[in-house]
Amino acid sequence: MTKISTRLGRIAPSPSIAAMSHARGLIAKGRDICDLTAGEPDFDTPKHILQAAAEAMSAGATRYTPPGGTAALKQAIVEKFFRENRLKVRPDEVIVGAGAKQVIFNAMAATLEPGDEVVVVAPYWVSYPDIALYHGAKPVVVETFASDGYRIDPDRLRRALTPRTRWLMLNSPNNPTGTMIDIETMQQIGGVLRDHPSVMVMTDEIYEHIRFTDRAAGSFAAVNPDLADRVLTVNGVSKTYAMTGFRIGYAAGPSDLVAAMAKLQSQNSGNPAAVSQEAARAALTSGLDFLPQWVDAYRARKNLVVQRLSSVPGLSVFEPQGAFYVYVGCSEWIGCAGPSGRVLSDDSAVVMELLDHGVASVQGSAYGVSPAFRLSIASGIDVLAAACDRLADFAGRLKQ
């Protein structure tokens, strides 16, 4: 048998990708499934971006580029950060990767040593803890609670920081809850970090433009400019522009960190696809005129799901402020028998039983807060309405 690295044993496959693959496999076999697993816009990539990609290929954008991104795309990112986030960065402080996940992975790979700690705020995106574990670091979880709007408690954060803390991971709007970190909380977090000068901050802002509130998204480095030299601001084109398959993420941060990440990228993947970089450049320089219509559609879907599920017995529905997910607590379902007769022992069991009932979701344990499940609203409103019908029917079939 092949000898597999022990490092790989520290991590599990991505739960959200596993759930999506399972659901799509059942659909391919003819099962009637409302697939609410994928964090992927169901809108088409704007036509002007596709046209830019086609023109770029014809113009020769089919060859190697510098590992960390083309000069043209880096300049577009510099201008984007200044225009949209009030961040003034230089091209040598910018890196482009094959998706935001690669950027995050490379940042941790470039900085972590065995025994370091990475503070993650729960609920968290599924990959943060596993990436830290892969590199020999220890994820330290700071819990938040639905009763407080999943707001980060600065005192709880302070208690989690130690001399071994290397990174604090922030995500706003949050996947899976849709919570946004308000400006005041960002300032309070900054106050905590001023007492811990060795801690860096990785702020994941991939959902920044998908918001259901007039509140400004706020970028941590702009809110706390004196800490900007230890902040890596991560973003990408996947969510805002419906460009998930183009695989372009990017970040801005200290030039020495960016140089280290580019060095690593030169060995582990080389440059992101040249044509994808040109498509991303077109996206970042052509405005967001299409986006209000998309956000209105997400808002209508969010309202439907929140309203419908709030009346389903045993569910506690958290209303998101952004992103395109609804996080649903299901503590009252635990211990009940599902329609199949199986006991719902935890939220993984709930998710499996729901799948049998025609609704695909992701268990809350994947995000560090249980019992719950995440529903993606990046699906047509008819699919979401059908899923709500099935969830209500499921609740009516539970037995104590």
Rounded distance between C-alpha atoms, residue 98 and residue 94, angstroms: 14
Task: Tally the C-alpha atoms within 13 A of residue 230's C-alpha that lie toward its C-beta.
Answer: 16
Q: What is the mean pLDDT of residues 351-362?
A: 94
Here the CATH number for the domain that contains residue 174 is 3.40.640.10
Q: Name the β-bridge partners of 233.
A: 203, 252
DSSP β-ladder status, 165-171 and 34-35: unpaired
Q: Are residues 131 and 116 in the same domain?
A: yes
Q: Within a domain: residue 106?
A: yes
Q: Are residues 228 and 332 in the same domain?
A: no
**Backbone torsions φ then ψ of 158, nearest 5 degrees:** -60, -40
Alpha-carbon distances of 375 from 58, 302, 325, rounded to whole Å: 40, 10, 6
| Positive/negative CA dihedral, 170, 171, 175, 176 | positive
Interior angle at CA 136, CA 135 and CA 142, nearest 5: 95
Q: Are residues 168 and 181 in the same domain?
A: yes
pLDDT at residue number 7: 87
pLDDT at residue number 23: 82
Q: Within a domain: residue 368?
A: yes
Interior angle at CA 272, CA 266 and CA 274, nearest 5: 120
Burial of 393 (0-12, 13-18, 19+ CB in 10 A): middle
Q: Are residues 206 and 123 in the same domain?
A: yes
Here the CATH number for the domain that contains residue 387 is 3.90.1150.10
Q: Are residues 35 and 73 in the same domain?
A: no
Q: Are residues 244 and 339 in the same domain?
A: no
Given 235, 255, 285, the domain boundary residue is 285
Q: Are residues 188 and 96 in the same domain?
A: yes
Q: Are residues 143 and 265 in the same domain?
A: yes
Q: Are residues 223 and 334 in the same domain?
A: no
Domain count, the chain: 2
Q: Are residues 172 and 107 in the same domain?
A: yes
Q: Within a domain: residue 84?
A: yes
- Under DSSP, the state recorded for 144 is -
Q: Within a domain: residue 51?
A: no
* Per-chain mean pLDDT for the chain: 96
**Backbone torsions φ then ψ of 288, nearest 5 degrees:** -125, 35
pLDDT above 80: residue 4: yes
- Write out the residue range of the structural domain in which residue 329 sits: 6-44+290-395
Q: Name the β-bridge partners of 373.
A: 328, 363
Complete DSSP assignment for 164-218: TEEEEEEESS-TTT-----HHHHHHHHHHHTT-TT-EEEEE-TTTT-BSSSS---
Q: Within a domain: residue 55?
A: no
pLDDT band at residue 156 using 50, 70 and 90 as cut-offs: very high
Q: Within a domain: residue 385?
A: yes
Given 267, 285, 303, the domain boundary residue is 285
pLDDT band at residue 105 using 50, 70 and 90 as cut-offs: very high
pLDDT above 80: residue 216: no
Amino acid letter, 98: A
Share of the chain above pLDDT 90, in %: 90
Q: Are residues 207 and 223 in the same domain?
A: yes
CA 278, chain centre distance (Å): 23
Q: Are residues 103 and 166 in the same domain?
A: yes
Residues contacting 55, CB < 8 A, separation 6+: none
Which pLDDT tens digit goes with each residue over 106-132?
Answer: 999 999 999 999 999 999 999 999 999
Given 285, 305, 323, the domain boundary residue is 285
Q: Within a domain: residue 54?
A: no
Q: What is the mean pLDDT of residues 15-34?
A: 85
Q: Within a domain: residue 52?
A: no
Among 17-26, 157-166, 218-227, 294-303, which is the least confidently predicted range? Answer: 17-26
Residues contacting 184, CB < 8 A, separation 6+: none
Which pLDDT tens digit goes with each residue over 217-273?
Answer: 789 999 999 999 999 999 999 999 999 999 999 999 999 999 999 999 999 999 999
Please give the model's pTM, rounded to 2 decimal places: 0.95
pLDDT at residue number 161: 98
